[in-house]
Chain A
Amino acid sequence: MNGQSPEKGESIWDKMKSEKMTAFFFCLPALIPLSVFWIFPMVFALYLSLTNWDLMMPVYDVVGAENYIRLFQDPEFYRTLWNTLYFTVGSVLPAVLGGLVLAIIIKGKVIGKTVHQTLLFSPWVTPLVAMAIVFSWIFDPDTGLINYLLQLINLPALPWYASSDWAMPVVISVSVWRTLGWSMVFYIVALDRIPESIYEQAEIDGVNFWTRFRYITLPLVSPTTLFLSVVLTIQALRAFDQIDIITQGGPAGATRTLLYHYYQAAFERFNAGEAAAIGIIILTIAGLFALAQFLISKKYVHYQ
């Protein structure tokens, strides 16, 4: 319909004007909430991070970079930064790799493909709050199932979320449990797109499994790998539910991520300025992660 000839009795100008008006009114319902709750808040967050507002008093001061300086001088901040990195890498890597492995196996001749696909995907659908409660019961240091199983095979019981060394693996495992089947589904779609003929040719040439995987599968699913690692990283940066239910950032701050720090600053200590500053830092980190992943991908991602 672009460049369509004007109707009778209607000049081109009239038509363009009415098309513009329609476009305006069609965009408005989406753009209003988007500006009010996404775009404006981004800018507003940047401004807030330069103030010392406590969210209640009507007056506050613009304090410049003070919030950032205080954060960067606080050793606790570097610990949350490290925790965030630990959590992100720990939950993204297994989900991406595991998703690929599952997809490859499911794509091979497996009985009951759809059933497995449905079961493996189901964790993604369920409320994380409820399942985090279930996980806290499974990982219970005293009577939990995991410790029972460990002792069954003569391994020592672990203190899990009660210890600062093992709490992070617990919250990470909830995350991986939830996203494994989800990333598998993306890989199944990607594998379906690879033409069968490539594999047939490889089979005729007698190429073994690993070579096939390394030189055919991996390059051809690389756009999916990139997409998943970016999206999962952003999801990891906003992980909250399982941390809040199982550890509340503890013990001794061992699972306090940047987002949990942000939450506590804003809604427990009512320090909007500090929270906004952490928000901006999270945003910057997400941006850097995405940039790094795109740069790496320039070298390794192959679009068909």
Chain B
Amino acid sequence: MSNKAEKSQENIAAKPEKTEHTRSGRWTIWKKKLGKISSNLFIILMSFILIFPFLWMFASALMTQEEIASYPPSFIPEAPQWGNFLEAWMSAPFSRYIFNSFFTASAIVILHIITTALFAYAITQLEFKLRKPLFVIVMATYMLPVPVTYVPSYIVLSWVGWIDTYQGIIASNAVSVFAIFLARQSFLQVPNELVDAARVDGASHWTILWKVFFPLTKPIFITFGLINFVLMYNNYLWPLLIIRSERLYLITIGLRQFFIEQGAYGVNWPLIMAASTIVVLPLLILFFITQKWFIKGVGGTGGIKG
């Protein structure tokens, strides 16, 4: 491709361009400055647009019913109605929902760590016939549109009697192909000498995995642990299908329910926005504290070759 670049350069190389103290030089400096300013402005604008829904949600949560319905709309609540949060919190069992979401998401992430570590160790460090095909099959499922499995998985769960249970949510999400992919990549980078040395000392594979590999590749576990926690907290459709009783509602389902109920008598936007803030805020805080893990982990999957 550098050939192509060279070819196209020939046309442009004809233009003499010197960045010294000539008039055209000063113009280039100006152009650069202008470019810098406009790209800064553009990025600031984009960041603002993308976080605007959060700001708008928060501002709306603090307004009164009359204020929110006023036209032209007010952007900053005149007298912040902090009571809206309390009222929203009291009008549905949100603490229960949040507990359910945190509990199932944490259990799932712990299972992911165990299943991923064992599987990634087997396919990177152990010699067995099915090693390659197994990896290909597992990776292929990453490309599957999950919903195809919903109806059959629902039937499977009903066979075991796990519809409308914690076990149902947890077991059906016990493996993360994304996590296996990340862990495999970093397991491959653990130096062989370390493994050999541990083997000579008579350590079992189990010990090597948890005493050598796990500590060395911990960052990758933190990364996918956080990402999968967020994905599970945000999960909506699958739990909606298998959960019936209100005491097992995840936060997403609970919020949808609240949205529908509040909409029944003319939409009570301030309360709904307060409830949405309650749901969104824990994740935003978690994300802002741990953002580098997310961004590293997400970017890390982009480097697939071929």
Contact = CB atoms under 8 A, between A and B. Distances in A.
Interface stretch (A33-41, A62-70, A89-97): A33-41
Contacts of B175: 30, 33-34, 37-38
Interface in B120-149: 121-123, 125-128, 131, 134, 137-138, 141, 143-149
A68 to B, nearest CB: 15
Contacts of A109: 36
Contacts of A244: 236-237, 256
Given A1-B195, A29-B114, A134-B276, A207 B127 contact: no
Given A33-B115, A134-B53, A286-B145, A23 B122 contact: yes
B291 A118 contact: yes
Contact of A1 (B17, B43, B196): B196
Interface string A1-33: 110100000000000100110111111011101
Contacts of B64: none
A129 B255 contact: yes
B151 A45 contact: yes
A122 B10 CA distance: 44
A249 B147 CA distance: 17
Nearest to A271: B151
Contacts of A193: 303
B290 to A, nearest CB: 10
Interface stretch (A74-82, A160-168, A222-230): A222-230
Nearest to A192: B299
B125 A1 contact: yes
Given A180-B50, A188-B299, A102 B13 contact: no
A266 interface: yes
A180 B301 CA distance: 17
Interface in A36-76: 36-42, 44-45, 48, 55
B42 interface: yes
Contacts of B39: 105, 108, 110
Nearest to B235: A127
A215 B9 CA distance: 10
A145 to B, nearest CB: 6
A39 B141 contact: yes
Q: Give the dominant DSSP class at B's interface.
A: helix
B234 A126 contact: yes
Given A23-B131, A145-B73, A230-B143, A215 B295 contact: no
Contact of A120 (B47, B259, B284, B300): B47
A216 B298 contact: no
Contacts of B127: 2, 16, 19, 23
B305 to A, nearest CB: 6
A40 B148 contact: no
Contacts, number: 312
Contacts of A259: 147
A1 B124 CA distance: 11
A38 to B, nearest CB: 5
A105 B5 contact: no
Contacts of A214: 8
A111 to B, nearest CB: 6
Contacts of B51: 119, 122-123
Interface residues of A, number: 109
Interface string B60-82: 10000000110111000000000
Contact of A207 (B8, B121, B234): B8
Interface in B162-187: 171-172, 174-175, 180
B236 A240 contact: yes
A177 interface: yes
Given A26-B121, A137-B269, A33 B172 contact: yes
B9 A135 contact: no
Interface in B1-59: 1-2, 4-5, 8-9, 12-13, 15, 17, 35-36, 39-40, 42-44, 46-47, 50-51, 53-54, 56-57
Contact of B288 (A118, A198, A238): A118
Contacts of B125: 1
Given A42-B144, A148-B71, A190-B302, A206 B15 contact: yes
A39 to B, nearest CB: 7
Interface stretch (B85-93, B152-160, B215-223): B152-160
Contacts of A110: 39-40, 43
A185 interface: yes
Contact of B273 (A137, A181, A224): A137
B2 A198 contact: yes
Nearest to A304: B305
Nearest to A144: B73
B279 interface: yes
B302 A189 contact: yes
Query: Shortest 6 CB-CB distances between A and B: which pairs?
Result: A41-B152, A189-B299, A41-B149, A26-B122, A186-B302, A30-B119
17 contacts: A37-B171, A41-B151, A108-B35, A116-B47, A118-B295, A119-B47, A126-B234, A130-B276, A134-B273, A137-B269, A138-B53, A145-B73, A185-B298, A211-B5, A245-B256, A276-B152, A286-B144
Given A186-B298, A215-B1, 15 more contacts: A23-B126, A41-B148, A102-B43, A106-B43, A125-B230, A127-B279, A130-B252, A133-B259, A148-B73, A181-B50, A186-B302, A189-B302, A207-B12, A223-B304, A275-B151
